[in-house]
Copies of this chain bind each other. A is one copy, B any other.
Amino acid sequence: MATNESVPLRIFSLNCWGLRYVSKNREERMVMIGDKLSRENHDIVLLQEVWSEKDFLYLKKTLSSTHPHSYNFKSGVIGSGLAVFSRHRILDVFFYRFSVNGYPYMIHQGDWFGGKAVGMVQMKINGLMAHVYVTHFHAEYCRERDIYLPHRVVQAWELQQFIRHTSRGADLVIVGGDLNTHPQDLGCRLVRAYTGLRDSYTETGAFDGCENGLTLIAKNPYVCAKELGPFEEGIRIDYILFRGSKCVEVKCESLSITQGSCPGQAIPLSDHEALSAQLLLVPTDPNRQKREPESSEENTGKLAELVDLVTEARTEVKVGVHCAERQRHRAARTGAMGLALLLLELAMALVPWLLPASAAATQPFPRGSFCLLGALCFCLLLLATLLWVFHSGEIKALRSADDHMRLAAASLLEEHRGRTPTPVRHAHGDSPANQHAGSTSKED
């Protein structure tokens, strides 16, 4: 059982930019991160882009006395990069890999190989069951022509689903990570509206950091100004979100975000800035009168907002389906061309056997080019087949998200109808669902 005293809880989140052979000063920065963490003694540390197992093991060793409990979520080809270090014992974990996450042929971007995901760890903090999530979305490489937007919207959708469905037993929910999404972007709005999570930056009592809470800033020497596009100062894409429950209220007392290099250090910790939030867990008095239930207008407003959000998300996902279908079609066309050429070559190769010896004596095509062309056609066919298979899977995943969004919208409308005073007939005598695909409220 929770004690009646308020308890502070310190959370740290950082995208560590830890890609082997690519990220600059990686080893040096990992030492700095380890030092900082062992010094500052946060309760829970949520890291992203710890791609190298060596780095994870180094941090685990460095933090063994301050954060004896840790977990590294493995996924994809090089790992999800998600890691958790905690002062509190980790009781259980669960992991969900997003169904779409870029393209394997964009090797230089590498997102696909990382297997982006959301990981959950469960721990007891002062008798309260905390569900802590760490996540990382696909990067946004070009805001003007963002081909990954549908993928990121689906990731946001799957994140909110995962949090909603796995946080029912929780007294306390904390989410940290790099959403690669601005606060007003669809993905971020989807997650917040559906889960009821609050943003530590907008809720904090005291704040220390760049203006507007930026977490990818121009003055960080690892950040290329071109990356930031029109946002000259920087952007806010890393978050610590939180939510309490009926037995504990959570407040954000302070939030501090690094601003490039720390004092006395030549280089920053990462290309992203580190977030450090001090939360306060205030146990709710069981005798306290319950909060007034929301008025019908408030509820209707919330439902309308959710319906709008889902509609917007479905539009983006449909764009994604359209693009994926076009890509698949292109792959099919290329494959068909490869196959046709291969068959043509086969027919030409058969000519000497089919024609009388005299007519076939002169081979019209140089042998080397003939074989090379054949091999090229075969490679073309093989690659086109692989692309066709990949994009078929992408289409299935996007359509699956769209199906689910359609169901969620229908559930929201059904609930809305159930709340209007006009009597509505419900199939099979079911009461209008309290818990529906779009519920933001926590189940009692």
The residues of A with any CB-CB pair to B shorter than 8 Å are 68, 71-79, 87-97, 99, 104, 113, 115, 120, 122, 124, 127, 129, 161-162, 165-166, 168-169, 366-372, 374-376, 378-379, 382-383, 386, 389, 392-393, 396-397, 399-400, 403-404, 407-408, 411, 414, 426-428, 430-431, 433, 435-437, 443
Contact = CB atoms under 8 A, between A and B. Distances in A.
Contacts of A71: 403, 407
Contact of A166 (B95, B165, B386, B428): B165
Given A93-B437, A168-B168, A371-B371, 11 more contacts: A68-B427, A89-B414, A92-B437, A124-B433, A366-B367, A367-B368, A368-B371, A375-B375, A375-B378, A382-B383, A386-B386
A89 B428 contact: yes
Nearest to A389: B77
Q: Of A75, A162, A169, A431, which is in contact with the most chain B CB atoms at under 10 Å from its CB?
A: A169
Contact of A73 (B74, B92, B169, B400): B400
A169 B94 CA distance: 17
8 contacts: A71-B407, A74-B396, A91-B436, A92-B437, A94-B162, A124-B433, A165-B165, A379-B382
List the 6 closest pairs (A to B, CB-CB), nearest first. Answer: A375-B375, A367-B368, A74-B400, A168-B168, A92-B437, A371-B371
A63 to B, nearest CB: 14
Contacts of A396: 74-77, 79, 115
A393 B104 CA distance: 13
A70 to B, nearest CB: 10
A78 to B, nearest CB: 8
Contacts of A68: 427
A166 to B, nearest CB: 5
A178 B383 CA distance: 34
Contacts of A383: 382
A393 B117 CA distance: 14
A93 B404 contact: yes
A407 B90 contact: yes
A400 B371 CA distance: 45
B92 A408 contact: yes
A28 B166 CA distance: 41
A74 B399 contact: yes
A127 B426 CA distance: 13
A207 to B, nearest CB: 29
B75 A436 contact: no
A375 B375 CA distance: 5
Q: Of A71, A73, A95, which is in contact with the most chain B CB atoms at under 10 Å from its CB?
A: A95
Given A71-B403, A166-B165, A435 B115 contact: no
B375 A169 contact: no
Contact of A74 (B75, B127, B366, B397): B397
Contact of A161 (B76, B94, B113): B94
A368 to B, nearest CB: 4
A166 B166 contact: yes
Contacts of A90: 407
B400 A75 contact: yes
A440 B87 CA distance: 26
A372 B373 CA distance: 10
Contacts of A92: 407-408, 411, 435-437
A94 B435 CA distance: 14
A79 B75 CA distance: 22
A69 to B, nearest CB: 8
B435 A169 contact: yes
